[in-house]
Amino acid sequence: MTRTLDAEVVVPARCELAEGPVWDAAHGLLRWVDILPGHVHALDPVSGAHTWFEAGDPVGTVGLTRDGGLVYALVDRFAVSDHEGRDLRPLGDFTVDRSEVRFNDGKPDPWGSFWAGTMAWQEQGGPPCNLYRLSPDGAVTELLDGVGLSNGLDWTDDRRLFYYADSNSGRVDLFGTDPDTGELSGRRGFVAVSGGIPDGLTLDAEGCLWLAVWGSGELHRYTPDGRLDTVVKLPATQVTSAAFGGADLGTLYITTARENFTPADLAAQPLAGHIFACTPGVTGRLPFLFGR
The sign of the CA dihedral 196, 198, 200, 206 is positive
Cα–Cα distance for residue pair 243/251, rounded to 1 Å: 8
**What is the secondary structure of 223-284 as a DSSP string?**
-TTS-EEEEEE-S-S-EEEEEEESTTS-EEEEEEB-TT--HHHHHH-TTTT-EEEE--SS--
Phi/psi-derived region of residue 48, left when phi > 0, alpha when psi is between -120 and 50, beta in every other case:
left
The answer to whether 61 touches 22, Cβ cutoff 8 Å, is no
Among 76, 109, 166, 199, the active-site one is: 199
Distances (CA, A) of 7 to 216, 232, 252, 274: 14, 7, 9, 11
Distances (CA, A) of 28 to 49, 71, 245: 11, 18, 9
158 as an active site residue: the answer is: no
Taking CA 73 as the corner, what is the angle to CA 57 and CA 35, rounded to the nearest 5 degrees?
Answer: 50
Q: Return the active site residues.
A: 199
